[in-house]
Amino acid sequence: MWSVVAPLPLASSRSRRPGASATVRRNYHGLDLAYFDRLRALSTQRGTLLCVGLDPDPERIEGGAAGALRHCQEVVRQTEEHVCCFKPNSAFWEQYGPDGWSALMELRDAAPNTPFLFDAKRGDMGNTMRTYARAVFETLAMDAATVHAYMGTDSLREFTAFEDRGVYIVCRSSNPGATDLQHLVAQGMPLYQQVAALAAKVNEHRNVGLVVGATAPAEVAEVRRASDLPFLLPGVGAQGGDVEAAARAAWNGDPASCLVSSSRSVLYASSPAREAASLKAQINAATGVRA
């Protein structure tokens, strides 16, 4: 266990989104803590910064949506003690059609003690973004989500208005094409730093984080110098991200500062439990945390 440096402000968790309909919400397991406080508490309790992505591939898992659900339920069962978060990506459930959505809802209910971060990268305007937020936080009862910042602050605030949920804004992605737009220099800094600045602006409820790819440790370090927000670091494993360099660059002592996500390398390991335990240890060693 490490020592928790960030306080756990319980008060904010009571003030949910004004006007949110209680009748539409269902099966939400958030209990009394806001997302980032739950993440900090669970990360500390389980001694891990690992997040496992739940992205079923029909070319590797037989049996359609039902097969995907069974496979992911087993991965959840094997890895839950080694993670502080699960991250289903919307695309992989959407590909199964309506059955995929049903399976995802069942999967979410199978692990009520661990937050679910819905990697959906939604980004739209006004009433549409509000509807996405309801779909993610009410219909699917997710604890956190990823979003795009391109539409600006009014768009982002439709998600951050759900004060007890977490909102990770895509800042510097983990793919090669990240440099096409994200590295353009505007007003003296690369676009991804402009996005980080915008994220700080919409962090009124202290529920905002940044997505920064583990494949680019130099940019992780650069964004960390400019921002204290919690980071989600995808790109570990199949994408070849340097987990140790990225984790070292992201970690700032806050147990929520460095959520490292791996999907395929755990999901299709001969032993997901062993792979998750090994990743957990690797990340803890890099950040200097003793589990």
Residue 174 contacts its own copies per CB under 8 A: yes
Residue 134 contacts its own copies per CB under 8 A: yes
Q: Which of 275, 254, 268, 239 is nearest to 209 (CA)?
A: 254
Residue 86 contacts its own copies per CB under 8 A: no
Q: At closest approach, how far in Å is the CB of 184 from its own copies?
A: 4
Among 9, 97, 112, 240, binds its own copies (CB under 8 A): 97
Q: At closest approach, how far in Å is the CB of 24 from its own copies?
A: 8
Among 107, 142, 145, 149, binds its own copies (CB under 8 A): 149
Residue 70's Cβ-count burial label (10 Å; 0-12, 13-18, 19+) is: middle
Residue 91 contacts its own copies per CB under 8 A: yes
Q: At closest approach, how far in Å is the CB of 202 from its own copies?
A: 10
Q: Say how far apart CA 208 and CA 132 lie, in whole Å.
A: 17
Binders in 10-69 for its own copies, by CB under 8 A: 55, 57
Q: Say how far apart CA 258 and CA 198 lie, in whole Å.
A: 20
DSSP letter for each residue of 261-290? EESHHHHTSS-HHHHHHHHHHHHHHHHT--
Residue 271 contacts its own copies per CB under 8 A: no
List CB contacts of 183: < 8 A, sequence separation 6 or more.
190, 191, 192
Which residue(s) pair with 85 in the sheet? 51
Among 43, 173, 207, 261, binds its own copies (CB under 8 A): 173
Among 1, 10, 31, 125, binds its own copies (CB under 8 A): 125
Q: Say how far apart CA 115 and CA 82 lie, in whole Å.
A: 13
Give the contact letters, 183-222, x = binds to its own copies (CB under 8 A), - = no: -xxxx---x--xx--x------------------------
List CB contacts of 9: < 8 A, sequence separation 6 or more.
34, 37, 206
Q: At closest approach, how far in Å is the CB of 99 from its own copies?
A: 7
List CB contacts of 39: < 8 A, sequence separation 6 or more.
84, 85, 115, 166, 230, 255, 256, 259
DSSP letter for each residue of 63-80? SHHHHHHHHHHHHHHHHG
Q: Say how far apart CA 279 and CA 23 lie, in whole Å.
A: 40
Q: At closest approach, how far in Å is the CB of 4 from its own copies?
A: 33
Among 66, 135, 281, 291, binds its own copies (CB under 8 A): 135
Q: At closest approach, how far in Å is the CB of 113 from its own copies?
A: 23
Q: Which residues are catalytic?
A: 121
Q: Which stretch binds its own copies (CB under 8 A): 6-14, 39-47, 136-144, 160-168?
A: 136-144
Q: Which residues bind its own copies (CB under 8 A)?
A: 55, 57, 89, 91-92, 94-99, 101-102, 105, 121-129, 131-132, 134-135, 138-140, 148-156, 170, 173-182, 184-187, 191, 194-195, 198, 239
